[in-house]
Each structure stands twice: as C-alpha cells, then as structure tokens.
A and B are shown apart, each in its own frame.
Chain A
Amino acid sequence: METVIVVEGLVKTYNGELVLDHISLRVRKGESVGIAGPNGAGKSTLLRIIAGIEPYDDGIVQVKGSIGYVPQDIILLPWRTVRGNILLAAKIRGIPRLEAEKIVEAEAPRLGLEEYLDRYPKEISGGTRRKAQILMALALKPDILLLDEPFTGLDSSTIEALQETIRRLREEYGLTIVTVSHMMDELTSISDRLILLTYKPARIKAVVEL
C-alpha cells in the first residue's frame, strides 16, 4: 500500500527545549494510526507539523494528499453558523460550493447535526461542535483526516458514537486517519496501529500492531 505520510528524524524545540526528538513514522493509504502518550508529550505538536501549520527544526515531513485537520480546541468562527463555517472553509480550500453543500446534506443527518446546521457555535454543546468540526473537515474532501484528542471532554456514549463515526468515515471515504490521544482504550478501538510516545522529549517508545 502506498505511503501517504512520511516523517523522518523530526526534531522540534520550543524556546531551546527539545520537544520532539528524532521522530520517524510512516502511514500508509487507508490506514488508521493512533499516536498515544501522556498529556504535554508533544502529540499535538507532531500532528500540527504533519498538518503543515507548525514549523519544525529538523527532519523531513512529507504528506501526499489533502488534509482535514480537527484540532483539540474546537475552532468555529463565532460569527458564522455551523453551515457558514463549513462553506467558508470549503471556499478557502477551493471546493465548489455545490460539492461542499452535497457533503453537508449527506453527512449532517448521519452525524446528528441536521438541526444544528443553522445555529451559531455558541448555541450548541461541545460534543456537537466537535462533530461540526469533523463535518467541516469532511467538506474539504480530504485524503487524510488528522484528529487531535477527539474524545477529550466527551461522555462515554458520545465517545462510542464518535468512534463509530470515525470507523464509518474511514470505510466509506477510504480516508487515512491519524488520531492523537492520551486515552489509550478509546484510541485502540479506532486504530490499526498504535505509536506510543515518551514524555518530554517525545521519542517513539513502541509501535503496536492491533
């Protein structure tokens, strides 16, 4: 299977402190990889570097395909409705409005978002906002979905529903998924492979095939 993410000898420092210490990993097309480690280990930094929104000091990062990034802190513009946020994101990425609307109409009911599309982010719960951010990422027609701590702050039934959604999206869209989380059990159920990181600086401690 084709490799779509290559990270080789990645080094990242913050104010002189080593955060990521020669991280190397490869992700194949259609694979779902979980990156686990304690809070503050640098998992989110690694994901942001893969997403191309964080600079790094040394190493090679190559990504083949378009990315849908779902950050840990859900960010939806408060002055736009959920639908407005999604369509703006699609517009910026150059996805035709009709295509984005088609994805929204098809996926919103399945994500339980139908009645929230025309609401503002402040009017909906944290779990619903997370689903809205996932829908936003999907509307960008990504090849690779990057999920940063998707289960944090959610109750067990919402976590189960979200795990089911992630598995289904992978099946239906053939997405490559990279998820970082400190919640090992939750991560295990959606991943083919687990990469365990050490705490400060982050190094690869173990790779577990599931």
Chain B
Amino acid sequence: MEAFFNALNTLVQSISVLVWAIVLVMIFGVTSRKPPILVVTAATYPVLLSSLFGAVRSIDSRIMLLARSLGAGKWEELFYFVLPGTIPYLAAASRTAIGIALRISVVAEAFGSSGGVGYWLVFSYDYGYKEGVFAWALVLVVLMIAVDMLLLRPVERWSEKWKL
C-alpha cells in the first residue's frame, strides 16, 4: 500500500499546481468550488500521507510491546495504540500542509473560482486596482499568521504530550 501511494505521490507532485488548476477548471467550470478544493488536496495530501507512513514506522516499539503483552488484536492495536501514536507527527505535518494549502488555494482561486482571496487579488490586478492587490495580499498574510499562531501551534504543542 505504501509503495502504491508513494508512486501516486510522485505522479501528483510531478505535475505543476498550475496545470492541475487549469485542467480542473476545464473539467468542473469556473464557478465550481471543486477545483480549489481538489488542487489544495493534491498539493497537501502527499505531505500528510508520507508523515502518516513515517509516524507509523516510528511508533515506539515499547507501545507495541504493551499491545502484545495485553494480547491486543490487529484492530485494537490500530485504534488504541498505532493511530493515537501518530497524532503528534500528524499535527506537525498538518502545520506544514496547511501552510502549503493556504498558498496553493490562492493560485487555485485565481484560476478556478468566483470568490476567495485569490479571486479578488487577481480581480484587483486585472482592473489595475493596486490598493486592492496589496490589501488582499495583506489579508492573506494576516490569515496565515493567525491560523498558525492561534490554531496550528497550540495543536502541535498539545499533541507533544502524546509522545512517549
């Protein structure tokens, strides 16, 4: 399974985000919400997936020893020991992925959306409205900092206590 997803990752990542955005707009249309969502997913899921595989591999062997000593079945191992053990790694990866997602979403919105920061940024640019371009860029920067400081960092700190 890991080999399959690694191959899929390589395929998805080898195609530019710009190409994804244009192709998806052609398929779903400019007014659809799907292109930005799918482009962001394509850009972020490789980070999350490789982190998940890495986390599962790096689960402390003592945790698995505990599972074995209790006689846990495969599903119990997965739900009570493996998945919770991956949380700190996924929280750290989410911080990176959401940073990527916010940046990519602007590109995706610029091409294939009828709203959002990216759309309004390009809209302002097309009409030569400089103040609009800077204002929307500022909104984006403030949004990214706020999400990082108010949500992602606290979640990452909280998840640290899940490490053995």
Contact = CB atoms under 8 A, between A and B. Distances in A.
Interface string A63-99: 0000001010101011100000000110011000000
Interface string B142-164: 00000000000000000001111
Nearest to B67: A92
Contacts of A26: none
A14 to B, nearest CB: 15
A79 B84 contact: yes
Interface residues of A, number: 16
Closest 4 CB pairs of A and B: A75-B66, A79-B162, A75-B62, A92-B70
Contacts of B70: 89, 92-93, 140
Given A78-B162, A92-B71, A120-B161, 9 more contacts: A53-B69, A69-B69, A71-B62, A78-B164, A79-B84, A79-B87, A89-B70, A92-B70, A122-B161
A92 B63 contact: no
B80 interface: yes
B72 interface: yes
Interface residues of B, number: 18
Interface of B (DSSP majority class):
helix
B68 interface: yes
5 contacts: A53-B68, A71-B62, A71-B66, A75-B66, A77-B84
Listed residue (A79, A88, A89) with the most chain B CB atoms within 10 angstroms of its CB: A79
Interface of B: 62-63, 65-66, 68-72, 76, 80-81, 84, 87, 161-164
Interface of A (DSSP majority class):
loop
Given A53-B65, A75-B66, A92 B72 contact: yes
Contact of B63 (A77, A88, A89, A93): A77
A140 B62 CA distance: 19
A166 interface: no
A51 interface: yes
Nearest to B162: A79
A75 B70 CA distance: 12
A77 B163 CA distance: 9
A93 B71 contact: yes
